[in-house]
Amino acid sequence: MKIHNDLLLRVARGEKTERPPVWLMRQAGRILPQYRSLRASLSGFKELVETPHLAAEVSLQPVDELGVDAAIIFSDILVIPEAMGLPYEMIEKKGPNFPRTIQSSLDIQNLIEGENAADELGYVYKAVEITVNELQGKIPLIGFAGAPWTIFSYMVEGSGSKTFSKAKKLLYKEPALAHQLMAKITATTIQYLKRKIAAGVSIVQVFDSWAGVLSPAQYETFAIPYLKQICEAITAVPVIVFARGAWFAMENINQLDCAVIGLDWNTPPEVARGELGNQRVVQGNLDPCFLYASGEEITAATKEMIRKFAGHHIVNLGHGVYPDTPLENVKTFVNTVKEFKY
Ligand code: 1CP
């Protein structure tokens, strides 16, 4: 389908544009009153994720409300462990929990992988089809998956963690097993992203949310090779790699065959440009907490960020928008970008 506002895709392909595109990680979610009221009428988070027309509705809410340059399909990275055989629960106000986790070689052997696992996620592909159909080519739809290391950490820990010490322990104590698990997650993720692309997403983002807990050597050994496989396997659409906290691995990430590098808010634009060069397409990276500041301050900081990245830049926050961010401030951020001219 022809996309009317394809600013995001043009920038991802390395083209120069009149202004940068803008979208926000977690734009489909609790910042929007429409989301909160729909969510309150349901049994829980999973009902929303697993009901395609509802997931589509929530994906479209920020398009109408905020006027962003891209939609992201409403889902969660945790659908992958579930499709591989480890179901998750989403506990209100606490977050994800896995009743069963990976503890042994046998647990890894028993996992479903690749196309068979991707086959389990028909509700996601259906949600993508509905959303693309309803967007009518207005803007592109972003598909996403967790990076293998981030998915691995949930499968081993069973929930979020401050240290991820159980998952990291496995890397140190059982490196061969860790590679087996990483390989299965990667094979599944590749099939899953291909199916999402076939269903209609125009670009994909890989979230390595827990990259920053690994040592540089662990990241190079256990994360980069699998990100590389994903980047090489996904050729039909641009790939954005967002590895949060992985400033130490910037050189390795720069060598990945991905169209865009996502930056967190700890990375100063001039440092990123110094390491990546002026032509590398980057995405980010205003501190999400900046959106608690005044409208004037948000406008000034956003413009300054755009000037510092100096092109080949997709505007976003340095991580997901926090649920209690005033909606007016999110709009100020988006509108500042839309009014900007290089
Ligand atoms: O009740 C609710 O509404 C739950 C809050 C929520 C939402 C809105 C969760 C639970 N997931 C989501 C949606 C979601 N998750 C999206 C939607 C699309 C968008 O960005 O607008 C996306 C992209 C994700 C991806 C995701 N889930 C990541 C990677 C991105 C990131 O923020 O780093 C991670 C780490 C998760 C796990 C997860 N899901 C939900 C929570 C609370 C968490 C994090 C828990 C933890 O700290 O471990």
pLDDT tens readout for residues 48-68: 999 999 999 999 999 999 999
| Average pLDDT over the chain, rounded to an integer | 97
C-alpha distance from residue 179 to each of 110, 151, 222, 273, 316 (Å): 15, 13, 7, 32, 32
CA 251 to chain centre: 20
Burial class of 160 by CB neighbour count within 10 A (0 to 12, 13 to 18, 19+) = middle
Would the pLDDT of 262 be above 90? yes
Q: For 126-156, how does the pLDDT look when each residue is reduced to its tens digit (9 = 90+)?
A: 999 999 999 999 999 999 999 999 999 999 9
Question: 95-97 and 89-91: which strand pairing?
Answer: antiparallel
- Convert the pLDDT of each residue in 222-248 to its tens digit: 999 999 999 999 999 999 999 999 999
Ligand 1 geometric centre to CA of 207 (Å): 10
Beta bridge partners of 260: 240, 281
pLDDT at 35: 97
26 is catalytic: yes
pLDDT of residue 1: 78
Task: Give the distance (Å) from ligand 1 centre to CA of residue 96.
Answer: 9
Ligand 1 pocket, residues with Cβ under 6 angstroms: 25-30, 39, 45, 72, 74, 76-78, 90, 95-96, 144, 160, 207, 209, 320
> Which atom of ligand 1 lies at the shortest distance from residue 144's CA?
23
Displacement of CA 40 from its chain's centroid (Å): 25
Q: How confident is the model at residue 157 (pLDDT cuts 50, 70, 90)?
A: very high
Domains of the chain and CATH, by start: 7-338 (3.20.20.210)
Q: Residue 140 has what pLDDT?
A: 98
| Nearest atom, ligand 1, residue 39 CA | 3
From 10, 39, 123, 322, active-site residue = 39
Cα–ligand 1 centroid distance for 226 (angstroms): 22
Calculate mean pLDDT across residues 111-118: 98
- What distance in angstroms lies between residue 277's CA and the mean position of ligand 1's atoms? 31
Say which of 35, 88, 125, 154 is annotated catalytic.
154
Q: Which of the following is catalytic: 10, 13, 36, 76?
A: 76
- Which atom of ligand 1 lies closest to the CA of 27? 21
As a whole number, mean pLDDT of residues 24-52 equals 96
Q: Which amino acid is at 62?
A: P
Nearest C-alpha neighbor of 178 from the set 234, 120, 206, 219: 219
The answer to whether residues 207 and 8 touch, using CB atoms and an 8 Å cutoff, is: no
- Asked if pLDDT for residue 172 goes beyond 90, the answer is yes
pLDDT of residue 216: 97
For 268-312, what is each residue's pLDDT tens digit? 999 999 999 999 999 999 999 999 999 999 999 999 999 999 999
For residue 341, report the distance from its CA to the centre of ligand 1, in Å. Answer: 33
Instruction: State in Å: Cα 76 to ligand 1 middle.
Output: 6
pLDDT at 252: 98
* Residue pLDDT, tens place only, 176-204: 999 999 999 999 999 999 999 999 999 99
Mean pLDDT of 157-161: 96
Is there a contact between 299 and 332 (Cβ–Cβ < 8 Å)? yes
**What is the arithmetic mean of pLDDT over 85-101?**
96
From 23, 26, 189, give the residue whose CB has the most ligand 1 atoms within 8 Å, as the site to mutate.
Answer: 26
Nearest CA to ligand 1 atom 19: 26
pLDDT above 90 coverage of the chain, percent: 99
Q: Is 30 a catalytic residue?
A: yes
Mutate to test the pocket of ligand 1, among 50, 76, 124 (most ligand atoms within 8 A of CB): 76
154 catalytic? Reply is: yes
* Contacts within 8 Å (CB) and 24+ apart, 92-97: 92/44, 95/159, 95/160, 96/154, 96/159, 96/160, 97/158, 97/159
Residue 325 is predicted with a pLDDT of: 98
Q: Which of 40, 23, 182, 167 is nearest to 113 (CA)?
A: 182
